[in-house]
Amino acid sequence: MAIIIGLTGENCAGKGTVAEYLVKKGFYYYSLSDVIREELAKEGKEITREALIAKGTELRRMFGADVLAKRIVAKLQPDRNYVIDSIRNPAEAKTLLATGRMTLVYVTASPENRFERMKARKREGDPKSFEAFKIIDQLELNSSDEFGQRLSEVFALATKKITNDSGFRELYDAIDAMLSEISAEFKIERPSWDVYFMNIAKVVASRSNCLKRHVAAVIVKDKRIISTGYNGTPRGIRNCNEGGCPRCSSFADSGTKLEECVCSHAEENAIVQAAYHGISIKGATLYSTFSPCLICTKMIINAGISEVIYNADYPLGEAPLKLLKEAGITVRKISLEK
């Protein structure tokens, strides 16, 4: 069955951006505000935010609180997916939900972000101060007029919520996730970010020439890889598998003869590579195929990395993990097939 995505939310929360993205995915677009615009155009009146609100209230009072929704429902075809914007009265939401096809989505953002977006669009009539903006917000949320805008009641009817306080990529990811939950038609079979970056780390590990263990680390910031590293001998030194590391060549038992090891660890190499190329890793996330050793842990802490995600436990790894947590660094283990 074709679906309908109904959009509600505060002013400048990003409903229009969500609608535009859905249109690109083949959804047909309607806005309840378009019904009001048609009425204002017939009367030859200027279309302003204040005029839209007043005319919307007038139409609801004359023809019923759900009049805008009823006019849109009359246009809907059963074999098309629709996105319907500007649902501002609970009666409108209930009429659209009664079609059995609609999922009501509440799009929201912080007042500060919404005010900045409003200022950026530079529309005449928009409030000039944050205080005035908040007053208008409250009026739209809780109108005492049953035929007016009663957004808080509409929000309560929503079964999905999208918070739009980051960039476009994060917003689009949230929309895709929401669609996949609603309909199998939009279900996207792709790995989570954690699985994605950890699998990349496993590929990086294949470059390791260590005789004992292949380990890799990937440093990520804003969902972008900024540095990678795998364990092996330092730059310009014979590779481990060519006899460059005495400890590995002697196949020493795990945890012994560490003073003979000349190999750099994966996390160490990833951090050093970032420094070598002048890239800040403060606030970044480090993915590693193994939990870090104590030396790498101290480097991770001092480099300002904020999160460590690892796949398998490193021998003697309890103390390093405890130190990371004490330093306030988020530590998570995700177990993938080794």
**Catalytically active residues, by annotation:** 267
Sequence-distant (≥ 6) Cβ neighbours of residue 111 within 8 angstroms: 10, 130, 133, 134, 137
Q: Identify whether the C-beta of residue 19 lies closer than 8 Å to the C-beta of residue 85.
A: yes
What would the two tokens of residue 335 be?
Answer: 């177990």
Residue with structure tokens 């092996």?
232
Rg (CA), the chain: 28
Residue type, 199: N
DSSP 8-state class, residue 73: H
Q: For the chain, how many helices (H) and strands (E)?
A: 14, 10
What would the two tokens of residue 155 be?
Answer: 């929000």
- φ, ψ (nearest 5 deg) of residue 211: -75, -20
Q: How far apart are CA 275 and CA 227, in angstroms?
A: 9
Q: Identify whether the C-beta of residue 4 lies closer than 8 Å to the C-beta of residue 96.
A: yes
